[in-house]
Amino acid sequence: MGVKSVSFINDFSKIPKEYRAEVAQEYPELKGHEEHDYTLVHNGWFDAALWKLLRQKVLDCKNKIDVWYEARASHLIQDPVSKVIKGVQIEKLGQKINVLARRGVILTTGGFENNKEMIQNYLAAPKLAPLGTIYNKGDGISMAQEVGAKMWHMYNYESLGLLHGLSFDTPEGERSKLVLSWPELNHGSVLMVVDDGKRYFNEAGPNRHGHIFDHGIWRVLRSHEKPYIIFDQKQYETIEAGQIPYDKFNEKLIKADTLEELAKRTGVDANGLKEQVEMFNRFVENGHDDQFGLDIKSMAKFAEDGPFYAIKMAYNVLNTQGGPERNTKAEILDVNNNPIPHLYAAGELGGINAKQYQGGGNLAECLIFGKIAGEQAANVTDEVTDKASDKYNGINELADGDKVKDIAR
């Protein structure tokens, strides 16, 4: 792409080396982990540099690449006999437009993190708060299913943030706030409980894109309906004295004079919550967390008397991995493991990450499989020959604004 690559491990000297390794090599217990690195387009991150570079490359080819905004793909057009994908139907300005694809269609529609039905069916979660785009609704999955595609990795997804991938409770339809670190919420007289009033993980354990250690393997976080962070008055004062990266923190706090009252207000089991706090205090006295191995240095006894506090959390989703299975040529497979002619996929739609996702993997999939899919489609020899209107050709809204409005009318 005309840029010199930058190694996160070797070139990011402004970030401590230990932190670089921890971020770029999420699974240090796996063989070969020390070879994993992030390859960046400049000496910076979280600044959309890659996106800006790719956007400019498209603009440089604006006479060859059409770009439409608000043109939602709804159906693939497939020959009923040969099964060749001939095009795609989109919805633009209230109209349905059939777009001819002479050499192929590449599905890069992302995941289903904003499709509540799919989340409940595939991920067994009542809801997940989105961290990324709020527009990924699983359209690529629905379209691929219509033409007989085989699905894989439907159960896998990634989270990010506090306490193994949690955000603060977020209304449906809104994006979650990403908070990567807030020590006052997992160090001190503070713990996290769920519906039964009990803990179920090490609150200060490593954040591996939402995966938690479960009997020898890192698994996707189990979701509950009532996740709450619980703390006492002393911890509240510690939180208030520090930096608060969430502006609605005090607004969303629940305060009660007793643990029983706090349980009633949050809906968690009162006996379970009381037993858990007593157990937590006993671990502090004994010098060891017998439940989940939380570092004793990060634990402090809860006060016997209130007030006590709770704030509701939400399980979040950075992105999903499920979708149509692809082969090494980026071809989408049918249920008999045969490529569907002229149909390809790239990115997190049918992502290759089956379990323990390593950070950077999905962007790599976008770039690598995007290139493979583009090359495969460019080299197709059995072009679709159906005649199609050319009145929509040459429209690039990225470069020229919304030119399609007058034409579509």
Comparing CA positions, the residue from 260, 40, 223, 54 lying closest to residue 128 is 223
Q: How far apart are CA 181 and CA 163, in angstroms?
A: 9
Whole-angstrom CA distances from 149 to 34, 142, 145, 324, 339 are: 37, 10, 5, 6, 9
Which residue type sits at 115?
N
| Segment of 218-222, 266-270, 364-368 carrying the highest mean pLDDT | 266-270
**Helices (DSSP H) in 243-360: which residue ranges?**
249-252, 259-266, 270-286
Q: How far apart are CA 28 and CA 31, in angstroms?
A: 8
Q: Across residues 42-63, what is the average pLDDT? A: 92
Q: In 3-state terms, what secondary structure has residue 1?
A: coil
* pLDDT tens sequence across 82-107: 999 999 999 999 999 999 999 999 99
Beta carbons within 10 angstroms of residue 310's beta carbon: 24
pLDDT for the residue 164: 86
Q: In 3-state terms, what secondary structure has residue 309?
A: strand
Give the bridge partners for 149, in sequence order.
334
pLDDT for the residue 320: 95
Q: How far apart are CA 53 and CA 30, in angstroms?
A: 33
Range from 229-233, 309-313, 400-404 carrying the lowest mean pLDDT: 400-404
- For 286, residues 6+ apart whose C-beta sits below 8 A from its C-beta are none
Fold for 162-317, please state it.
Flavocytochrome C3; Chain A, domain 1 (3.90.700)
Whole-angstrom CA distances from 291 to 62, 137, 295, 362 are: 59, 38, 11, 34
Range from 154-158, 242-246, 313-317, 391-395 carrying the lowest mean pLDDT: 391-395
* Residue 13 backbone phi and psi in degrees, to 5: -65, -20
Q: Across residues 404-408, what is the average pLDDT? A: 51
Q: How far apart are CA 143 and CA 147, in angstroms?
A: 7
* pLDDT tens sequence across 237-269: 999 999 999 999 999 999 999 999 999 999 999
Q: Across residues 161-185, what is the average pLDDT? A: 89
pTM: 0.89
Q: Which CATH number is associated with domain 61-158+320-408?
A: 3.50.50.60
**First CA to last CA across the chain, in angstroms?**
38
Domain-wise residue ranges, the chain = 61-158+320-408, 162-317
Q: How far apart are CA 68 and CA 45, in angstroms?
A: 28
* 296 confidence band (pLDDT: 50, 70, 90): very high
Q: How far apart are CA 198 and CA 80, in angstroms?
A: 55
pLDDT for the residue 216: 84
Is the pLDDT at 371 greater than 70? The verdict is: yes
The per-residue b/e assignment along 235-256, b for 16 or more CB within 10 angstroms, e otherwise, is bbebbeeeeeebeeeeeeeeeb
Comparing CA positions, the residue from 253, 218, 204, 214 lying closest to residue 233 is 253
C-beta separation of 207 from 165 below 8 A: yes
DSSP code of 208? B
Query: ω before 307 within 30° of 0 (cis)?
Result: yes
* Residue 124 backbone phi and psi in degrees, to 5: 55, 40
Tell me if domain 61-158+320-408 and domain 162-317 are identical in fold. Answer: no
Give the bridge partners for 6, in sequence order.
40
Is the pLDDT at 205 greater than 80? The verdict is: yes
Q: In 3-state terms, what secondary structure has residue 162?
A: helix
Longest Cα–Cα distance in the chain: 79
- For 382, residues 6+ apart whose C-beta sits below 8 A from its C-beta are 84, 341
Is the pLDDT at 206 greater than 50? The verdict is: yes
